[in-house]
Structure 1
Amino acid sequence: MSLKDKIIITGMTHEGRVRDHNEDSIASNPELGLLVLADGMGGHKGGEMASAIAVDTIMQYLSATLPTISPGKTDPKTGYSLESMALEAAIKEANQKIYDASQSNTKYEGMGTTVVVLLFYDNRLSLAHVGDSRLYRMRGQLLEQMTRDHTLIQELVDRGFYTKKEARESLNKNLVTRAVGINTSVDIDLLEEVTLVGDTYLLCSDGLTDMINDDLIEDIQINYHNDLQKMNEELIKQANDYGGKDNVSVMLAQVIKNFPADSGWFSRFFDIFS
């Protein structure tokens, strides 16, 4: 079942006001309800290459794999859906490709990338992420961060050594503890949630969240709830107005209709009233 008329998806990326090249990469497949965002790191355009490899690999893997998955199946070892396991496998494949590329050329040694992958299916979502790029959910008028940053400063916040305000002002706030492509293996966080009509989901690089706080993000989402393209433009504009010190990427997905799995008469009955 195509999700193109069930979920509105937009995305923009900008180099910011300081950097002369963009190390972020984004991609989406509205038919599959799939969004991918990556923020690369590494000298000699290594970050640009790492994020591009990650996004391309993940999109290709999932475009081939997701249509073969039967709805409602779970992995017996983890309890996660097969869709979530596919996201994990796609990131692992991207990790290996980036690592191999870094080992084959000394210019790219140590390159890596964050990644956020969001997939909608059967009135649910699966999320997989590594690093400090984030996913937020706007439900009603409440903004909620659904990812936990894989950074040193976040670990210190969790242990009570820093407040959130102090963490935002720290010079070490961008030291990531996990990244795709740095090592031969990578730890991936997975999350599954039920979606509701009206939910708006925001994927973003730290070029957004380092420049503007959650209160402003929430205000923008409330003010532009009925126009995702303008919301996208306003988020990037505000990040640049507040300094634009990094590349900034924003992707938005808004649920406008229910999308139960196509599994017979019950699904068709549900669609009539959604």
Structure 2
Amino acid sequence: MGLEVAGQSHVGAIRKSNQDVVEWQLSEAADRALLVVADGMGGHQGGEVASRLAVDAVMDAAGQALACTPPDAPDHEIRKILDRSFVLANDRIKARRAEEPGLEKMGTTLVLAWVSGSRAHIAHIGDSRCYRLRKQQAVCLTRDDTVVQNMLEDGSITLADVPHVPFRNVLTRAVGSVDEAAPSHRTEILEPGDALLLCSDGLTDSVSEERWPGIVHSHDGPASAVQALIEAGLANGAGDNVSVVLLTLE
């Protein structure tokens, strides 16, 4: 099975700075890939610093491991690599917070996908998401670490109430602001024709996920599909930075 990957981050239609960072790495044989999206918080400078530190840490840890880890490595070994990436990202952000005044409130969401053949290992903290697109359906594979998600699950609010909750984007966990960065994990089996999409909330808040499969499948390759998704967000007045990394499986 061959993998193709593309990604892009855009400041959006309203924001003046981009605190999102995206990155990806594809093996030489195009049979393994690492996808990363981070959405920083903590003010203009802090958010940019936190997301950049986190993504660089992931590429230093998991990115280097991708080249030397066999495609048939067991699931628990992959989870260890992803866990180490989160710990390194958390430690680097906390160290920078401690040494530089003005950055003491910074942190970031972080979502990763390690894809080996048809097997996708997903890890995340925060509310940046990972979706599997299959035919005309987009399925979210992550759970938001937010106050609103907790309220939905305990029945305090319904989905219809979410747009009216003033603190709907408040995180309950963020990399750089937790003592131990233990991500949530999920393993997913992909099929030929599937796509794996990682994104920040700038996309989910501006383009209905029901539209994504049609946009992706109507374009030839992930690069043009990513561009189309971001353009759709901008056309809808995206109020936040819009970031997407897309992997297709043939």
Tell me the TM-score normalized by structure 2.
Answer: 0.92
Aligned to 1:272: none
Aligned to 1:253: 247
* TM superposition shift of 1:242: 1.4
In 2, Cα distance between equivalents of 1:68 and 1:7: 18
* TM superposition shift of 1:243: 1.6
Judged with a 3 Å threshold, the aligned counterparts in structure 2 of structure 1 residues 137 and 112 are, in CA distance, closer, same or farther, namely same
Does the aligned pair in 2 maintain the 1:69–1:82 contact within 8 Å? no
Aligned to 1:204: 199
In the TM superposition, 1:65-214 aligns within 5 A as: 65-70=65-70, 72-74=72-74, 80-214=75-209
Corresponding residue SS for 2:188:
strand
Which stretch has the larger CA shift, 97-106 or 60-69? 60-69
Report how many residues are paired: 246
Does the aligned pair in 1 maintain the 2:38–2:111 contact within 8 Å? yes
In 1, Cα distance between equivalents of 2:212 and 2:167: 23
In 2, Cα distance between equivalents of 1:55 and 1:141: 31
| 1:20 aligned onto 2:1 | no
In 1, Cα distance between equivalents of 2:112 and 2:153: 24
In 2, Cα distance between equivalents of 1:44 and 1:223: 36
Ranges in structure 2 where 5+ consecutive residues have no aligned partner: none
Deviations 1:98-120 (A, max 9, x none): 01101111210010000111111
Indicate the percent of aligned positions where both proteins have the same amino acid: 34
Rg larger in 1 or in 2? 1
In 2, Cα distance between equivalents of 1:190 and 1:48: 25
* TM superposition shift of 1:44: 4.5
Does the aligned pair in 2 maintain the 1:96–1:184 contact within 8 Å? no
In 2, Cα distance between equivalents of 1:161 and 1:248: 29
Aligned to 2:5: 9
* TM superposition shift of 1:170: 2.5
In 1, Cα distance between equivalents of 2:202 and 2:179: 27
Aligned to 1:215: 210
Deviant stretches of 4+, over 6 Å:
none
